[in-house]
């Protein structure tokens, strides 16, 4: 947790992919391990207690585009949600 706090001293948030594989099929994963592997990069926020939100990618031809996650400073949930709402508004205009 201390490393995360130190990383967020110089920035407002951290932007990371949700998955190592940007081409996530909309089909069900074969095993539970496959499901966990798909979202393994979301563990950072889960383990540190930092607020995070996932911004989905566009869906094209039965495949979801790369999603990303925003991780904010602890106890700044409102700031993170406000930024996510602005990003969502921008994405909605581009569709």
Q: What is the pLDDT of residue 36?
A: 74
The pLDDT value given to residue 89? 87
Residue 77 is predicted with a pLDDT of: 95
Q: What is the pLDDT of residues 40-78, one digit of tens each?
A: 788 888 889 999 999 887 766 776 678 889 999 999 999
> What's the token pair of residue 76?
């700044």
Q: Residue 7's CB: how many other CB atoms inside 10 A?
A: 14
pLDDT above 70: residue 80: yes
pTM: 0.76
How are beta strands 13-17 and 59-60 bridged, if at all? unpaired
């Amino acid at each position: 947790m201390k490393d995360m706090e130190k990383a967020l001293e110089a920035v407002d948030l951290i932007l990371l992919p949700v998955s190592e594989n940007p081409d996530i099929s909309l089909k069900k994963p074969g095993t539970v391990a496959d499901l966990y592997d798909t979202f393994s990069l979301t563990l950072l926020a889960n383990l540190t207690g930092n607020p995070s939100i996932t911004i989905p990618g566009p869906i094209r031809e039965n495949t979801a585009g790369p999603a990303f996650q925003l991780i904010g400073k602890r106890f700044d949930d409102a700031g993170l949600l406000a930024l996510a709402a602005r990003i969502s508004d921008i994405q909605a205009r581009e569709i």
